[in-house]
Amino acid sequence: MTTDTRDLVIPAGHARMWRMRAGQRVSIAQTEGHQVGDFIAFNAADLTEFLSPSHTRRCIHRYLVGKGHTLYTNHREPIVEIVEDTIGVHDILAAACDPYRYRRDFGVENHRSCRMNFVEALAEHGVPDWRVPDPVNLFQNSPVLPDGTYASAASLAKAGDYVTLLARMDLIAACSACPQDLAPTNGGRLSDLVVRLDAPAAAR
């Protein structure tokens, strides 16, 4: 990974937002391993355009993504490209965890969730929960089974594993260190993620 970076820690169970210029790179890295990072991004000039897993699936004809794949917006424009990937296991099928999931599936109220984490992280932009797009679930292990179902399994990511994304447009991004501790998703323990953001080329 590049050494000309600015680090941002995403505390376990919370989310952080940052901005990127077209051509800038960001790496999202594990600290302890097994931690899923829900990632979303918006066109900085138009928040009604955003990274869309469903449009990405159609554009690249895949439901598995990794190094070399471009991710697309709801306008079918490229927004980020995966240029480095030490794990190669991510999910673009599942919605972000939300209060409804914790209530319906676990009988729990007031549990932190990725959806509400994004509302917090994007507060300056006034994005309500219903406008938070579905994420790309970095490091999430949701294998599709032969009978057409898919499982929720522990992330395979180890400490130090990372994904590097190249911005294909000026964008606003956010990542949630998923707070799911009632399913195997994060290996039974939440941990921080580290965002390593390259300096813009003009600032180097």
Q: Is the pTM of this model over 0.85?
A: yes
12 lies in a domain?
yes
* pLDDT score recorded for residue 202: 53
Domain that holds residue 97: 5-198
CA–CA distance, 39 with 58 (Å, rounded to integer): 19
Quick check: is 189 in a domain? Answer: yes
Of the candidates 37, 36, 41, the one whose C-alpha atom is nearest the C-alpha of residue 80 is 41
Helix (H), strand (E) at residue 169: none
Q: What is the DSSP string of 122-153?
A: TGGGT--GGGPPPPEEET-B-PBPTTS-B--B
Name the token pair of 172. 């606003």
Total domains in the fold of the chain: 1
- Chain segment 168-197, per-residue pLDDT in tens: 999 999 999 999 999 999 999 999 999 999
CB atoms within 10 A of CB 56: 24
pLDDT band at 204 (very low <50, low <70, confident <90, very high): very low
CB hemisphere CA count around 66 (13 angstroms): 8
* pLDDT tens for each residue of 23-57: 999 999 999 999 999 999 999 999 999 999 999 99
Residue 204: inside a domain: no
Residue 148 lies in a domain: yes
Q: What is the pLDDT of residues 103-140, one digit of tens each?
A: 999 999 999 999 999 999 999 999 999 999 999 999 99
Do residues 37 and 139 touch, judged by C-beta distance below 8 A?
Answer: yes
CA pair distance 33, 41, nearest whole angstrom: 23
Q: Is 203 inside a domain boundary? A: no
Residue 176 falls inside a structural domain: yes
Distance, CA of 52 to CA of 102 (rounded, Å): 24
Name which of 9, 3, 41, 7 is nearest 22 in CA terms.
41
The pLDDT assigned to 4 comes to: 58
Element (H, E) at 63: none
**Domain assignment of residue 49, yes or no:** yes
201 has which bridge partners? none
